[in-house]
Amino acid sequence: MAEKPLARGAGLITPDPWTRLQSLTRARIALGRRGASLPTREVLAFGLSHAQARDAVHQPLDVAALACGFHAAGYLTRTVTSQAADRGVYLRRPDWGRRLAEASAQQLQTWPAPPGRLVFVIGDGLSSLATQRHSLPLLEALAAYFPDLHACPVVIATQARVALGDEVGQLLGADMVVVLIGERPGLSSPDSLGIYLTGQPRVGLTDAARNCISNVRPEGLPYAEAARKLAFLIAGARQLGRTGVDLKDDSDERLPGERPEPFLLSAAF
Amino acid sequence: MLDGLLYGAGDAVIGINPASDSLPAITALLQLIDGFRQQYEVPTQSCVLTHVTNTLRAIEKGAPVDLVFQSIGGTEAVNASFGVTAAILEEAMQAARGLARGTVGDNVMYFETGQGSALSANGHHGADQQTLEARAYGLARRYQPLLVNTVVGFIGPEYLYDGKQIIRAGLEDHFCGKLLGLPMGCDICYTNHAEADQDDMDTLLTLLGVAGINFIIGVPGADDIMLNYQSTSFHDALYLRRVLNRRRAPEFEEWLERMGIADYRGELIAQTEQQPLLALAGLEDTRRG
């Protein structure tokens, strides 16, 4: 039997005959192997992805551009910062990322925005890329359920952790705060947005008081789906009187197939 | 799941971290893995990693729950932040045992822990994170778990700053788990905001292997695309087994051999598209089409 010419490591690598499944997922499946080890090309690809994810953590949020987008869409915004002065401190001191800088707290107290039942906090979190790309499209998708959504105060926060929303919500007298924040970037998803819903926000709450929708981005949970889940959770929270582990995401109960009944909620009343 | 099984992984548990905590989604996933497991007679157990109260509701609705998952910590305050109490865990354990799905033993709990969770929840009372981690193991032991998994570098650099700290914590956790007689394993992992990389994980993997770790977590290509952090790959587990001559669970080893996935020594066999597990994914059809 004639030997095939060796090209690009052919014959060295044992291929996995399920590479077609790669079209269904971004997971690193069917990588092949040499003995028990990863092929060199996969080791190199992994290293590149890791470097890109590290960059996403450290890239600052373009606050001016983001605020501009929200204004153009008709929202009232304010910009605040946490007590973490820079990224290095932010990474080491999550507690500082959960509290507003003194000046920001004062500024919010004097904001003549209409006290809304619902307040939105747009935070950079660990991926400014996610916030930059997905926060406004998600809010616009949510507006399908809330005709008066554009009256809700929008607070853009830098060096922010999820719990920063508690202080913002408390200062603005909100019934509920929705925090949209960049999730820590993964190798295959540097721009996942997380949504956290917290009822009766006040300083000192724990994550047990929140509900979370994660991995919001076109390749993950699309805007329309995420907005539907969020509207469902807000409606459920109003009915239950609280958010957190007692509030369950049953928005898929009516699936599969049929579209859920459209429902409209009020943001401000 | 197929990727893992075809790489000889999965003798402890096949776990899914769901993107949604909704009950229908969780039930559908449980039924999916259970149907597969029964059809191919895979000698393992499955788990969908959701809050204990969701699992309880799934059990009430008749879902096939092998293992009850829950993250736990070393103080009452951190457990409150996770939304759990000793009573809820007890209730869940009894509910899962009530299903009588196990063939050997009645260890139905799967706990995850990790240094720093108490500080993260502001429930540390000034105590150091290793002490609190060991206390979490004390809580775990009450429920005779099948698996206790320290997700060592998961929370981030505010607790374990770099590779060196993650490696040390992994060994500390393993040591404490052994002292308490727990079926301790490790998710050897780090996040992208920590000063660590895959070389550090290779080091910890080897150290834990030498120290007699009970199980390690594997994800495809070491990349957890749901929770956005890096763990170890199925390839990594193969390396450790080969270098340290660590065998899989005997019944799982037999199954791999029967399925033509590994040979009698536990070494992987090159696969073709005729592999029965791949028929499940409809690959044959797409090949012809």
Q: What is the pLDDT of residues A220-237, one digit of tens each?
A: 899 999 999 999 999 999
Structure tokens belonging to residue B161: 């700053």
Looking at residue A114, its pLDDT comes to 66
Instruction: Answer yes or no: is pLDDT of B8 > 90.
Output: yes
Looking at residue A259, its pLDDT comes to 45
Q: Does A33 touch chain B (CB under 8 A)?
A: yes
Structure tokens belonging to residue B135: 């206390």
Q: Does B214 touch chain A (CB under 8 A)?
A: no
- pTM value? 0.81
- Tell me the shortest Cα–Cα distance from B270 to chain A, in angstroms: 7
Question: What is the average pLDDT across A49-56?
Answer: 90
Q: B81: nearest CA in chain A? A: A208
| pLDDT tens digit sequence for A97-109 | 999 999 999 999 9
- Tell me the shortest Cα–Cα distance from A243 to chain B, in angstroms: 12
User: Nearest CA to A29 among A21, A37, A38, A39?
Assistant: A21
Q: Does A222 touch chain B (CB under 8 A)?
A: no
Structure tokens belonging to residue A250: 């049953």
Q: Does B222 touch chain A (CB under 8 A)?
A: yes
Q: B25: nearest CA in chain A? A: A252
Looking at residue B226, its pLDDT comes to 83
Higher per-residue pLDDT: B282 or A145: A145
B223 to A46: CB separation less than 8 angstroms, yes or no? yes
Q: Does B113 touch chain A (CB under 8 A)?
A: no
Alpha helices in chain A (DSSP H): 40-58, 63-72, 87-92, 94-97, 102-109, 128-142, 164-171, 223-240
A46 to B3: CB separation less than 8 angstroms, yes or no? no
| pLDDT tens digit sequence for B128-151 | 999 999 999 999 999 999 999 999
Please give the C-alpha separations between residue A120 and each of A94, A98, A139, B55, B210, in angstroms, as whole numbers.
21, 16, 9, 31, 50
B:27-86 residues touching chain A, CB 8 A cutoff? 51, 53-54, 57, 80-83
Is residue A31 a contact partner of residue B221, using CB atoms and an 8 Å limit? yes
Whether ipTM > 0.90 holds is yes
Instruction: Answer yes or no: is pLDDT of B26 > 60.
Output: yes
Question: Which value, to the nearest 10 degrees, does the dihedral of the CA atoms of residues B180, B70, B162, B119 take?
Answer: -90
Higher per-residue pLDDT: A159 or B19: A159
Using pLDDT thresholds of 50, 70 and 90, give the confidence band for residue B112: very high
Please give the C-alpha separations between residue B160 and each of A164, B169, B200, in angstroms, as whole numbers.
23, 8, 13
| pLDDT tens digit sequence for B74-90 | 999 999 999 999 999 99
Using pLDDT thresholds of 50, 70 and 90, give the confidence band for residue A116: low
Question: What is the average pLDDT across B261-283?
Answer: 89
Indicate the SS3 state at residue A158. Answer: strand
Q: What is the DSSP string of A88-118?
A: HHHHH-HHHHTSB-HHHHHHHHT------SE
A17 to B2: CB separation less than 8 angstroms, yes or no? no
Is residue B175 a contact partner of residue B212, using CB atoms and an 8 Å limit? no
Tell which of B81, B151, B189, B223 to mutate to test the A interface (max A CBs under 10 Å): B223
- Tell me the shortest Cα–Cα distance from A37 to chain B, in angstroms: 6
- Tell me the shortest Cα–Cα distance from A20 to chain B, in angstroms: 7
What residues contact residue A6 under an 8 Å CB cut-off, 6+ apart? Answer: A12
- Tell me the shortest Cα–Cα distance from A119 to chain B, in angstroms: 23
Amino acid at A253: E
Question: What is the average pLDDT across B233-237?
Answer: 98
What is the overall mean pLDDT for chain B? 94
User: Which residue among B23, B156, B281 places its CB closest to the CB of A21?
Assistant: B281
Neighbours of A176 (CB within 10 A): 23
B:158-187 residues touching chain A, CB 8 A cutoff? 158, 161
Q: Which residues of B touch A91 (CB under 8 A)?
A: 156-158, 193
Q: Which residues of A touch B3 (CB under 8 A)?
A: 16, 18, 21, 27, 29-30
Using pLDDT thresholds of 50, 70 and 90, give the confidence band for residue A133: very high
Instruction: Answer yes or no: is pLDDT of A257 > 50.
Output: no
Q: CB contacts < 8 Å between A and B, how many?
A: 161
DSSP classification of residue A44: H
d(CA A99, CA A105): 9
Instruction: Answer yes or no: is pLDDT of B108 > 80.
Output: yes
Q: Does B219 touch chain A (CB under 8 A)?
A: yes
Amino acid at A207: D
Q: Does B103 touch chain A (CB under 8 A)?
A: no
d(CA A214, CA A194): 5
User: Nearest CA to A266 among A144, A143, A117, A146?
Assistant: A146
d(CA A98, CA A75): 24
- Residue A112: is the preceding peptide bond cis (ω within 30°)? no
Using pLDDT thresholds of 50, 70 and 90, give the confidence band for residue A268: low
Structure tokens belonging to residue A163: 């719990």
Using pLDDT thresholds of 50, 70 and 90, give the confidence band for residue B189: very high
Question: What is the average pLDDT across A115-135?
Answer: 92
SS3 letters across chain B: CHHHHHCCCCCCCEEECCCCCCHHHHHHHHHHHHHHHHHCCCCCCEEECCCHHHHHHHHHCCCCCCCEEEECCCCHHHHHHCCCCHHHHHHHHHHHHHCCCCCCCCCCEEEEECCCHHHHCCCCCCCCHHHHHHHHHHHHHCCCCCEEEEECCCCCCCCCCEHHHHHHHHHHHHHHHHHCCCCEEEECCECCCCECCHHHHHHHHHHHHHCCCCCECECHHHEECCCCEECECHHHHHHHHHHHCCCCCHHHHHHHHHCCCECCCCCECCCCCCCHHHHHCCHHHHHHC
Integer-rounded Cα radius of gyration of chain A: 22
What is the overall mean pLDDT for chain A? 88
Is residue B123 a contact partner of residue B75, using CB atoms and an 8 Å limit? yes
Looking at residue A8, its pLDDT comes to 55
d(CA B14, CA B46): 5
Using pLDDT thresholds of 50, 70 and 90, give the confidence band for residue A189: confident
Question: What is the average pLDDT across A132-136?
Answer: 97
A31 to B229: CB separation less than 8 angstroms, yes or no? no
Indicate the SS3 state at residue A196. Answer: strand
User: Which residue among A18, A49, A53 places its CB closest to the CB of B278?
Assistant: A18
B3 to A29: CB separation less than 8 angstroms, yes or no? yes
A91 to B24: CB separation less than 8 angstroms, yes or no? no
Structure tokens belonging to residue B124: 């540390």
